[in-house]
Amino acid sequence: MALAYILFLFLAKVLDKGNTLKTVLELLDNAGYKVFHKNLNSLNFGVPQMRERIYFVGIRKDLINDDFKYEFPKEYSGDNKYLEDCLIDDEELTFDDRLSSYQTFLKYLKNKYNKDKYTIDELLSKDYTVIDTRQSDLRIYHEKTPTLRRGRHGILYVKNGKFKKLSGYQALLLQNFPKKYANKVKGKISNSKLLQQSGNAMTSTVIEEISRNLMKSVGAI
């Protein structure tokens, strides 16, 4: 038995004062889908990653009644992962003064946006502090990471009083891919490629909950 197409799409953000969203919904409607959409954050679905995305669920109109309703999940039904569960790479990428990029980081702390705001000792004072080195200002997170993005490779964290660089393997875990699958690609795909692919991916638990609710809705038809 098949429902033909179940369409999942996501957008990083809605542009042009809502006109982009309006256009997307119109296109899907004209393609014959009844569409439901909602902004969901991966933080609410069992992973320590701030990741807001708009999710669309579309079902072919000829397969459902006019009064069909879909309800997006409000919470995650599984177990929560914490930073300590994800930042576990046994080949942790140490970030210290042996690297030229570390010297660049020291200069970054002294630029006009960050000058006199942070010291190395302060940043290293608490394990699992996450540091996002953006183009201008530096952002600090606790108990969570910023959104993983394809082009963002400047995420650091503190562990055992030392700076570490987020690895591709850890990024997969932050997207809640099971370890058994993450282990299969570790060492076979470069770290930079894994970071890119993780940034392009959707958090698996969000899709799992959306799918679970969809099957409940379909069962009620």
The reply to whether 136 falls in a domain is yes
The reply to whether 213 falls in a domain is yes
- State the pTM of this model: 0.85
On whether both 129 and 194 belong to a single domain, the answer is: yes
On whether both 72 and 128 belong to a single domain, the answer is: no
Domain count, the chain: 2
Q: What is the DSSP annotation of the chain?
A: ---S-EEEEEES---GGGHHHHHHHHHHHHTTEEEEEEEEEGGGGTSSB--EEEEEEEEEGGGS-TT------SS--SPPP-HHHH---TT-EE-STTSHHHHHHHHHTTSTTTTTT--HHHHTSSTTEEEEE-SSSEEEEESSB----TT---EEEEETTEEEEPPHHHHHHHTT--HHHHHHHBTTB-HHHHHHHHHHS--HHHHHHHHHHHHHHHHT-
By C-alpha distance, which of 186, 193, 156 is closest to 169? 186
Percent of the chain with pLDDT over 90: 64
On whether both 42 and 132 belong to a single domain, the answer is: no
The reply to whether 22 falls in a domain is yes
- pLDDT given for residue 136 in this prediction: 76
Which token pair is 165? 């660089």
On whether both 104 and 131 belong to a single domain, the answer is: yes
On whether both 170 and 119 belong to a single domain, the answer is: yes
pLDDT digits (tens, 9 = 90+) for 23-77: 889 999 999 999 999 999 999 999 999 999 999 999 999 998 888 999 999 878 8
Query: 29 lies in which domain range?
Result: 6-81+202-219
pLDDT digits (tens, 9 = 90+) for 163-180: 999 999 999 999 999 999
**Geometric angle at alpha carbon 171, from 167 and 177, rounded to 5°:** 135
On whether both 73 and 122 belong to a single domain, the answer is: no
As a whole number of angstroms, the distance between CA 59 and CA 214 comes to 10
Which token pair is 106? 């020291």
